[in-house]
């Protein structure tokens, strides 16, 4: 998966997810479908949207049965109209039905994230601002969900607590203020690591800029305060990256982008999305006919 997580690590996750679903065996398929039965499964989308996760679907079927053939007709990041055939999987009917749900779960969820991200990115079209995700991801799925954000045209924020400093409200309280927190961090981290500070008001934005923050997050500010904060920060240190976050809706993206911020981070890209409706039909016959 180009630009995505390491294949070996994902394959191991898939084995665990299949074990959770299959357990001691797919009793329905084994009882209802003759051994040796062959089929072609048609994977198609019942909603228009950005597709993400097809390489994962391929991996799922290959782990279930390396003998299955998987032909993909759409690339992750592509927009697919309702009714588009995304891929065909051919071979053992037992294997196709056993891998169907996991492959669709991943494909639907990641495509939902990519589609939502793309709507936010489109709302910011023409503005010098990037749309970013946050750490508000499904436990165990962060790498995949952040991959889906990129497939939708968005950018990734830090991946975890280990790769960047973000001084938030509770850090500020525990450290005794923004300046004290920034001083403490600078004395302990590598000089190559960025420091971001969360600011909830103009006073905190000013203190963060004066303390030497590389990035200042304007958290839950209304438009008027955000414009004031951007003007203040640019006057004090023009090199600081300014991020807007907190309750960002698709309707506010353009308005916020015009405030002069560099990044808009949206937790809802990965915690409040709607999965894209994608199905697998056997030889054009609805899978429900087999139940």
Is residue 65 annotated as part of the catalytic site, yes or no?
no
Q: Which helix (H) or strand (E) holds 180?
A: helix 178-186
* Catalytic-labelled residue, pool 119, 168, 252, 287: 168
The phi and psi torsions of 79 (rounded to 5 degrees) equal -90, 130
Pick the catalytic residue: 78, 101, 158, 287? 101
> Any catalytic annotation for residue 186?
no
81 is catalytic: no
Distance of CA 55 to the CA centre of its chain: 16
Say how many C-beta atoms besides its own lie within 10 A of residue 273's C-beta: 20
Residue 136 a catalytic site member = yes
* Backbone region of residue 106 per phi and psi (left: phi > 0; alpha: psi in -120 to 50; beta: other values): alpha
Is 198 an active-site residue? yes
Q: Do residues 67 and 117 touch, judged by C-beta distance below 8 A?
A: no
Residue tagged active-site, from 145, 206, 207, 219: 219
Query: Using an 8 Å Cβ cutoff, are 69 and 90 in contact?
Result: yes
Q: Which of 136, 158, 183, 234 is catalytic?
A: 136
Return the DSSP state at 262. Answer: S
Q: Which of 145, 196, 198, 206 is catalytic?
A: 198
Hey, which residues are catalytic here? Answer: 101, 136, 168, 198, 219
């Amino acid at each position: 998966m180009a630009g995505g997580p390491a294949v070996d690590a994902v394959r191991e996750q898939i084995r665990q997810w299949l074990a959770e679903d299959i357990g001691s065996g797919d009793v329905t398929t084994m009882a209802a479908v003759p051994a040796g039965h062959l089929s072609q499964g048609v994977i198609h989308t019942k909603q228009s949207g950005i597709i993400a996760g097809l390489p994962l679907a391929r991996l799922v079927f290959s782990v279930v049965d390396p003998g299955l053939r998987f032909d993909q007709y759409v690339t992750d990041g592509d927009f697919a109209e309702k009714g588009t055939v995304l891929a065909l999987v051919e071979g053992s009917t037992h294997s196709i039905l056993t891998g169907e749900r996991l492959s669709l779960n991943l494909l639907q969820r990641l495509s939902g994230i990519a589609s939502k991200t793309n709507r936010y990115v489109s709302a910011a079209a023409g503005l010098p601002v990037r749309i970013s995700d946050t750490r508000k991801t499904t436990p165990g799925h962060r790498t995949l969900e952040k991959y889906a954000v990129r497939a939708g045209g968005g950018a990734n924020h830090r991946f975890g607590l280990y790769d960047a400093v973000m001084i938030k409200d509770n850090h500020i309280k525990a450290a005794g203020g923004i300046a004290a927190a920034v001083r403490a961090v600078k004395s302990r981290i590598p000089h190559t690591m960025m420091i971001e500070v969360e600011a909830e008001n103009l006073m905190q934005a000013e203190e963060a800029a004066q303390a030497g923050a590389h990035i200042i997050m304007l958290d839950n500010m209304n438009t008027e305060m955000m414009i004031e904060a951007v003007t203040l920060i640019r006057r004090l240190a023009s090199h600081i990256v300014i991020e807007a976050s907190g309750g960002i809706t698709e309707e506010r993206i353009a308005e916020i982008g015009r405030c002069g911020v560099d990044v808009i981070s949206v937790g809802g890209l990965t915690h409040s999305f709607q999965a894209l409706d994608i199905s697998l039909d056997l030889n054009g016959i609805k899978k429900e006919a087999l139940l």
